[in-house]
Structure 1
Amino acid sequence: MHVEDFSPTQGFARMLDKEDALSRFRDEFYIKSDSIYMDGNSLGLLSKRAERTLLDTIENWKDYGIDGWTKGKQPWFFLSEKVGEMIAPLIGAAPDEVIASSSTTTNLHQLVATFYKPTGSRTKILADELNFPSDIYALISQLQVHGLNPDAHLIRVKSQDGRFIDEDDIIMSMAEDVALVILPTVLYRSGQVLDMKRLTLEAHKRNILIGFDACHSIGAIPHSFSEWDVDFAYWCNYKYLNGGPGAVGGLYVNRKHFGASPGLAGWFGSNKEKQFDLEHTFTPAETAAAYQIGTPHVLSLAPLIGSLEMFAEAGIENIRQKSLHLTQYLMKLIEHELANMNFIIGNPREDSRRSGHVSLEHDEAARICKALKENGVVPD
């Protein structure tokens, strides 16, 4: 049975559950019996494995103290690399191209400080007007560090309808004065998936570096960053990856850029063999680990180990298929149950352009969300 055979009945829903190859993973999570949680695109729920690996790390601290950096189940000294290796298959990258470090915005600052090199007339950064505000704040800040006026040097591609960004409009904006492109993989409101492969190809045709904010795609859709030759990417790990509130972020750097001096140097970006020489001459790691800054937040890394174990078992392609089926099913239910109630489905209908969430619009959305929460349903 497929979602295309839709029937608005409980029996049909139960049949879909019965045929779901990933249904066993539901029991891995703490889910309140009196609540329907529909906000995993903002903060994923706690899993029993994430809890276990966090508690294991606390035990490591309790048992070893300072020696926990090199002893125990998961020595902390290499924990960022370990988590990076586990994330790598989800973004289509080699293990040494990925590191778990800092936060989304800090990693964006690091990457722009490293790869934004205004030269001559090529000084502008290209973004979009629908991106999450923190990215824009960081880009404005980086332009100001270079003594450049953001009003003149930050170009934001306009949306034609307030929901989506047309890739053709982005490409048309890749002018000769653009030095760097920063875009989301997925628009955080509408769930539109941008054509990363095409945009990367077009940027490189014009000798422009391009990086992506993958916060709203990682863990929901497969990526092929290395194959597409994306220059860099960054993301949070607390949404679909269920790493917990304040989970350490992640970044990807294409190996062709290995050796580029980090714009923001810090001691955990050091070559591990040199780190404790404590010299004032910085010797960066020869991998994405070079773009770490300070000491890793170990207790905010630990839950990711347990969570990522499940992603490895389930497979991101299988997760994507289930996600598409769930969003298809929800859209059909909305059309059937909420007809003539002035709701608008504001996300792309095409599977290839839709990420992991359904965007539902209504003039009274705020009041509706409040009422849903009061009745045990948690939307974003």
Structure 2
Amino acid sequence: MHFQNTLDCAQQLDQQDPLKEYRDKFHFPKVGGKDVIYFTGNSLGLQPKNAKKYVDEIMTDWAGLAVEGHFQAEKPWWDYHERFSEKLAPIVGAKPSEVTVMNTLTVNLHLLMVSFYSPTSKRFKIIMEEKAFPSDQYMIASQVRFHGLEPDEAIVEVKKRNGEHHFRTEDILQKINEVGEECALVLMGGVNYYNGQALDMETITKAGKEVGAFVGWDLAHAAGNVELNLHDWGADFAAWCSYKYMNAGPGNASGCFVHERHHGQKDIPRFEGWWGHNKGRRFLMEPEFQPEPNANAWQISNAPVLALAPYLASLELFEEAGMAVLIEKRNRIVAYLEFILQEIAREVHCNFEIITPQERGTQLSVFLHGQGKELFHYLMRNGVVTDWREPNVIRLAPAPFYCSYEDMWKFGQVLKDYFKKE
């Protein structure tokens, strides 16, 4: 359909939307008694209405069964985490045996680096992107120091070219080949949190493996957002948070991927605990660790089921909708948002520079030349929940589950009103 900056066009697009029924499955904050236009699913997804039901089930079982809930609840707590593997596998392109849920994102990246970063005098360098999300920077630098190395010597950053806002795949590949046999690990964000760029994970993984390095991915902004094929790409490991595009609630549990070629190894470096121990022998309280034959071997403690319940509720929606349909709408609604931004910029004679390349997911990062933070505050006061990043970038992430094309048009009208007032 040819886009138009009209309410009628937006409403027609919504009528054609195969996901339109899902909007009513989420709770929206309100401003002035009206649902907000919510652009921050890349920071915290909206609450699925079915999440309370899943949490209440556990609260009811806890009240009525107490400790027996571990085995007698309708969804027994002792294997609650196992319900995630089948649902998460198609979202990240993995085998169910390669996926588990545990802890939180940075904790899991630390634990995975125990297994996949064992530097030697010759092979000790880690390749990452410049200005990665700060938690990744802190995590990797602390791992390097833990091994008695200096971050300035062990960490190699791939930089953007002067005057450009995105990374070039050829520059990443060149850096991997340049570091070569000194490269122990390639660990990058699959979708950049700042500019919204989706990296060519398949090509980068292949290059990392060709020089003999392990390859891992931080998929915080990728899981539930872009197409992933972790198993086929041959990535060694990955981790992601569940509270952004996956709508599991603030700070909730992280998902992990460990490629099956690393399963069943008793001698792999790993911090171990009893929930990673052979499930059939777990309650025999044996002194020697026997790893589960899958990604669950990286589990340490029993699952925090109250935290996992909203995640399971959200995954039910993903299973119903399917990633292919979500990605199709994502492409269309982001294109419509880009069209609206260009139309408004033309009408009000203002320069909005979109710094997100075409290799992207749901997010558009917009550089607001000549505009300060007052525009952000104006949008928030007028029911547009968005995200500000210094010096003057607004991140807009129209999550396909619950954002509508009419939202995109209304956002354009609020934006236009601001410049008219100015």
For normalisation by structure 2, the TM-score amounts to: 0.86
Q: Which string of whole-angstrom CA distances, capped at 9 and with x for unpartnered residues, describes residues 233-281 of structure 1?
A: 1000000110001210010000001134352212222111222222332
* 2:338 is aligned with 1:337: no
Q: Partners of 1:162 and 1:136 in 2: how far apart? A: 21
Q: Which residue of 1 aligns with 2:361?
A: 355
Superposed, 1:1-380 pairs within 5 Å as 2=1, 5-31=2-28, 32=30, 33-160=34-161, 161=163, 163-174=165-176, 175=179, 176-260=181-265, 261-339=268-346, 340-348=349-357, 350=358, 353-363=359-369, 364-380=371-387
What displacement does 1:213 show? 0.7
Q: Say how many residue pairs are matched.
A: 374
Say which is worse superposed, 327-336 or 25-34, in terms of deviation.
25-34
Query: Which residue type is aligned with residue 196 of structure 2?
Result: G
Q: Which string of whole-angstrom CA distances, capped at 9 and with x for unpartnered residues, describes residues 48-77 of structure 1?
A: 122211211221212211111112221111
Q: Which string of whole-angstrom CA distances, capped at 9 and with x for unpartnered residues, describes residues 316-348 of structure 1?
A: 011001011110000000000123223211111
Q: Partners of 1:259 and 1:143 in 2: how far apart? A: 27
Structure 1 runs of 4+ aligned residues shifted over 6 Å read none
What displacement does 1:129 show? 0.6
SS in 1 for 2:364: coil
SS in 2 for 1:274: helix
What displacement does 1:26 show? 0.7
Q: Partners of 2:261 and 2:373 in 1: how far apart? A: 46
Cα pair 2:183 2:212 within 8 Å, conserved: no
What displacement does 1:162 show? 5.6
For normalisation by structure 1, the TM-score amounts to: 0.95
Q: Which string of whole-angstrom CA distances, capped at 9 and with x for unpartnered residues, describes residues 94-140 of structure 1?
A: 11100011110001001111111212311111111131110111111
Cα pair 2:78 2:302 within 8 Å, conserved: no
Cα gap change, 1:162 to 1:101, in 2 (>3 Å): farther
Q: Partners of 1:275 and 1:243 in 2: how far apart? A: 29
Q: Partners of 2:65 and 2:8 in 1: how far apart? A: 53
Q: Partners of 1:26 and 1:203 in 2: how far apart? A: 40
Give unmatched runs, 5+ long, in structure 1: none
Q: Partners of 2:303 and 2:320 in 1: how far apart? A: 26
Cα pair 2:183 2:211 within 8 Å, conserved: no
Cα pair 2:133 2:193 within 8 Å, conserved: yes
Query: Which residue type is aligned with residue 17 of structure 2?
Result: D
SS in 1 for 2:17: coil
Cα pair 1:57 1:299 within 8 Å, conserved: yes
What displacement does 1:159 show? 1.4
Q: Which residue of 1 aligns with 2:404?
A: none
Q: Partners of 1:155 and 1:138 in 2: how far apart? A: 14
Cα gap change, 1:365 to 1:186, in 2 (>3 Å): farther
Cα pair 1:217 1:356 within 8 Å, conserved: no
SS in 2 for 1:200: helix
Q: Partners of 1:88 and 1:19 in 2: how far apart? A: 29
Q: Partners of 1:291 and 1:254 in 2: how far apart? A: 12
Say which is worse superposed, 250-259 or 336-345, in terms of deviation.
336-345
Say which is worse superposed, 53-62 or 244-253, in terms of deviation.
53-62
Q: Partners of 2:35 and 2:200 in 1: how far apart? A: 39
What displacement does 1:295 show? 2.6
Say which is worse superposed, 325-334 or 112-121, in terms of deviation.
112-121
